[in-house]
C-alpha cells in the first residue's frame, strides 16, 4: 500500500477566524483529512510580524486551536501544533534566508499590502515572512499545501528556494504543490467586495466571523454591498453579488445553473435571507462545539502537545540534513 501524501497548512492567530479563512482553507483541511497524512499549525510566530498584545496573543493561539478542532480537525487524523513550540522553524528560515535573493523577496505582494496597512510597523519580520512560511512547509517534506489563492505567490517562492537549495547543496527538500480549491479560494469583504475578507480589516460589516451570532450574520449579509442591478447571476463584473453567490455555492454544494434558476427572478432580499440561513446553519454546530471545547483548555493543550511531539522528529531530520549539507556544525 502506498503511503498517504503529506499535507501541511497554517493559520495565524491574528484575530477572529472568518468565513474566508474557513471556506478558503479550514473547510478543505477538514474535508481532505481521510485522504492525507495531515499536519496543521497555528502559526503564532507569523502573527508577531504585526504588533500583538502578548497576553492576548497567547489566548488567541489557544482559542484558534480550539476553533480548528470545533471546525472538524480531528486529532486522531491530523497533527495540530503551535509553530513556536518547534524551534526548527526559525532555524531553517535563517538557512533559507541566505538562499533567497532580495529581488525575489521584494516581489511579494502580501508584504506590500501589509506594509500599507501598518505603515508605522514595517519590520524585518514582515518582509521576511515568506522565508519562515517556506521553512514551515519544507521542514515536513510536504506534498501539498492547501491554502486560499492569496498564498499562491508564497508557495511559489517556497518551491523556488527548495529547488535552488537541492541544486546547490544536494537533495534535501521535497518540492510542495499548492492546493487551491477554486470555490472559496478568495472570499471578498462584505463591505468592499474588491478587497479580500481579512481578520485585520476594521470595517464593522467587513467579515462574517465564525463566532458571530445569527442576528449579526443576518444583519451583515443584509448590509453587504451589491449593486443597483437586481438580477441574480454569477457575473464577475458585479463583485458584490458575485461574492455572495460564491459563498452560497460552496456552502450549498449546488451548481451555478441551479442557483441562478432558483434566485434569478427573486431579488436580493430573498437571496440574502437564504444565504444568511445557510451560513447560520453551517456555523451553529461549530459554535456549539467551540463553546464545549473552550471549557476544557487542558484538553486543547494536550492535543497541541501530542501534535508537536508527533511532528518534531520530521522537523529535526530535515533541519539536520539542511544544516549538514550547508556546512553548519
Footprint of ligand AQP (CB under 6 A) = 11-12, 14-15, 20-21, 24-25, 147-148, 150-151, 185-187, 196-200
Looking up cell 463583485 gives 239
Least distance (Å) between residue 266 CB and ligand AQP: 27
Residue 222 annotated among the catalytic residues of the structure:
no
Active site residue: 199, 204, 254, 272, which one?
199
Buried b or exposed e, range 115-130, using 16+ CB within 10 angstroms: eeeeeeeeeeebbbbb
Nearest residue to the partner ligand AQP, using Cβ: 24
Residue 199 annotated among the catalytic residues of the structure:
yes
Residue 196 annotated among the catalytic residues of the structure:
yes
Output 15 or 239, the one with its CB closest to ligand AQP. Answer: 15
Least distance (Å) between residue 180 CB and ligand AQP: 8
Output 14 or 61, the one with its CB closest to ligand AQP. Answer: 14
H helices then E strands: how many in the chain?
Answer: 14, 5
Local structure of 18: helix, strand or coil: strand
Instruction: Tell me the helix, strand and coil percentages in the chain, rounded to 5.
Output: 55, 10, 35
Least distance (Å) between residue 200 CB and ligand AQP: 3
Least distance (Å) between residue 308 CB and ligand AQP: 19
Active site residue: 27, 60, 196, 272, which one?
196
Active site residue: 27, 60, 114, 220, which one?
114
Q: What is d(CA 66, CA 290) in angstroms, rounded to the nearest whole number?
A: 6
Q: What are phi and psi of 178, to 5 degrees?
A: -75, 150
Output 79 or 172, the one with its CB closest to ligand AQP. Answer: 79
Q: What is d(CA 93, CA 219) in angstroms, rounded to the nearest whole number?
A: 43
Q: Hey, which residues are catalytic here?
A: 114, 196, 199
Amino acid at each position: 500500500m502506498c503511503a498517504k501524501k503529506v499535507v501541511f497548512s497554517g493559520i495565524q492567530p491574528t484575530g477572529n477566524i472568518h468565513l474566508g479563512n474557513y471556506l478558503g482553507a479550514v473547510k478543505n483541511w477538514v474535508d481532505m483529512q481521510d485522504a492525507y497524512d495531515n499536519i496543521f499549525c497555528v502559526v503564532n510566530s507569523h502573527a508577531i510580524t504585526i504588533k500583538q498584545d502578548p497576553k492576548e496573543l497567547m489566548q488567541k493561539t489557544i482559542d484558534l486551536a480550539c476553533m480548528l478542532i470545533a471546525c472538524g480537525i480531528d486529532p486522531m487524523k491530523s497533527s495540530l501544533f503551535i509553530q513556536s513550540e518547534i524551534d526548527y522553524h526559525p532555524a531553517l528560515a535563517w538557512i533559507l534566508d541566505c538562499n533567497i535573493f532580495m529581488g525575489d523577496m521584494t516581489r511579494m505582494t502580501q508584504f506590500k499590502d501589509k506594509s500599507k496597512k501598518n505603515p508605522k510597523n514595517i519590520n524585518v519580520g514582515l518582509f521576511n515572512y515568506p522565508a519562515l512560511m517556506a521553512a514551515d512547509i519544507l521542514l515536513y517534506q510536504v506534498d501539498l499545501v492547501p491554502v486560499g489563492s492569496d498564498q499562491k505567490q508564497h508557495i511559489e517562492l517556497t518551491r523556488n528556494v527548495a529547488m535552488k537549495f537541492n541544486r546547490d547543496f544536494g537533495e534535501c527538500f521535497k518540492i510542495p504543490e499548492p492546493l487551491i480549491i477554486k470555490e472559496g479560494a478568495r472570499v471578498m469583504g462584505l463591505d468592499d467586495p474588491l478587497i479580500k475578507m481579512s481578520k485585520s480589516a476594521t470595517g464593522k460589516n467587513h467579515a462574517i466571523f465564525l463566532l458571530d451570532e445569527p442576528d449579526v450574520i443576518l444583519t451583515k449579509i443584509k448590509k453587504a454591498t451589491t449593486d443597483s442591478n437586481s438580477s441574480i447571476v454569477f457575473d464577475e463584473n458585479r463583485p458584490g453579488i458575485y461574492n455572495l453567490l460564491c459563498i452560497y455555492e460552496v456552502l450549498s454544494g449546488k451548481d451555478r445553473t441551479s442557483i441562478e434558476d432558483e434566485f434569478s427572478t427573486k431579488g436580493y432580499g430573498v437571496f440574502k435571507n437564504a444565504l444568511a440561513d445557510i451560513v447560520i446553519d453551517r456555523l451553529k454546530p461549530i459554535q456549539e462545539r467551540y463553546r464545549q471545547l473552550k471549557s476544557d483548555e487542558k484538553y486543547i493543550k494536550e492535543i497541541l502537545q501530542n501534535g508537536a511531539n508527533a511532528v518534531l522528529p520530521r522537523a529535526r531530520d530535515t533541519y539536520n540534513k539542511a544544516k549538514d549539507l550547508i556546512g553548519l556544525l
